[in-house]
Amino acid sequence: MNYRVIGSKTLSGEVTTNISKNAAVVLLAASLLNKGKTTLKRMPHIEEVNRLIEVLRSIGVSVEWVGGDVVIEPRAQFDLENIDRLAAEKTRSIALFIAPLAHLVASFDLPAPKGCNLGKRSLGAHIDALARLGINLEGHEDTHSYHVEVGEKRPREIIMYEASDTGVENVLMAAAKIPGETTIKFASANYMVQDLCFFLERCGVKIEGIGTTTLVVHGVEEINEAVEYAPSEDPIESMFFISLAATTKSEITVKRCPIDFLELELATLWSMGVRHSRGAEYLAENGHTRLIDITVKKGDVLNAPPEKIAPRPYPGINIDNLPFFVPVATQATGTTLIHDWVYEGRAQYYTLMEKLGARVKLLDPHRVEIEGPTPLHSVHMEAPPALRPATMLLIGMLAAEGESELQNVYPINRGYENLHERLKAVGAEIDAIE
């Protein structure tokens, strides 16, 4: 699929934030912990979810869509020999299957994750922490797979040397079914980790410290429950639409925004001249996540922020939200420094905005300087193989004069459901073409 865009339109209206991709994928993996039926409510119809469902079905798990819900029922036997390798290799989320499968199979191989091409991303945080719990993981380059050997599982105190979202999720899923008390220090407290904790509590696993960097997991011998859970909304999707409004100088109301995971992003945009108003607070369907409706105000003058923009573990700016500051910075007066220190290669994608007329200087593998404001013009180009940089370029095209084409938008469809139709609803001129 390609997107054809006629840009430089003033947008208006309302858009509703969908369910979080990153929560959805970890909950699909976590369903393997439960011998009973798991129903995940209002799941996003996105390619990342589709790939993991294909993997689950290939190993013998019953997975069905019932309306907008996904119903998962395990089978007595798991067939890892026939795992859908092609589907597994298309998503880095396959790494989240390591801990759940370690409770079911003593020795197994798992295709190595590929997912976004963002430079080398080590699973070291997973490997060291899981080994302390008795789950040993090693990579095999010749087969492009991970081999897992499960020894004597035991509760321990774990110190995460990296605040990895997926690393902590794997440790949580391992600890959930190891009877006793496992303490995880320097844990990520990000939105998808919190959703996993709330789900595990529905399964009967007590967890102390949710939303903090120290989690205490009281593991259980077995989980055999009929569990229903609704993952919360996606702050990264909210930020996409907030950035779009700011870049196109439009007034858009973004509904159901998880505000706890957007505070610093909004404060940084405010320092750049992006104004917004907030509606009353209400709770997500999970009963925990605070949501608000945010209206980004139509503005004319944007300025570079007084400080560099860099991500930090929650409650800092989310690493996945960092690319959305790039198109805003192209329209802001002055020099914006963006420091993408987490990934070894993602900053290079920010320079693709030059094809639309932006002035972006790559200082080193992690830092770019953006000089603004610059008028953006149309371009025909291939989407980069990374989800957030691809959507960054789409925002640039929607702000640019003329007709652009973004080709092969599978990376966007990995994380966004029916995005072009939702953009049309706020006045964008965009079509999906073969």
Q: What is the CATH number of domain 21-229?
A: 3.65.10.10
Write down the domain spans for the chain. 2-18+233-433, 21-229
Reported as a single tens digit per residue, the pLDDT across 149-172 is 999 999 999 999 888 999 999 999
d(C-alpha 250, C-alpha 242), whole Å: 10
CA atoms within 13 A on the CB side of 107: 0
Reported as a single tens digit per residue, the pLDDT across 109-128 is 999 876 444 444 567 888 89
- Domains 2-18+233-433 and 21-229 agree in fold: yes
Q: Model-level pTM?
A: 0.95
Q: How do the pLDDT tens digits run along the chain, 434 residues long?
A: 999 999 999 999 999 999 999 999 999 999 999 999 999 999 999 999 999 999 999 999 999 999 999 999 988 778 898 999 999 998 989 999 999 999 999 999 999 876 444 444 567 888 899 999 999 998 877 778 889 999 999 999 999 988 899 999 999 999 999 999 999 999 999 999 999 999 999 999 999 999 999 999 999 999 999 999 999 999 999 999 999 999 999 999 999 999 999 999 999 999 999 999 999 999 999 999 999 999 999 988 999 999 999 999 999 999 999 999 999 999 999 999 999 998 888 999 999 999 999 999 999 999 999 999 999 999 999 999 999 999 999 999 999 999 999 999 999 999 999 999 999 999 999 999 98
d(C-alpha 407, C-alpha 3), whole Å: 6
Q: What is the CATH number of domain 2-18+233-433?
A: 3.65.10.10
Question: What residues pair up with 5 in beta bridges, in sequence order?
Answer: 404, 430
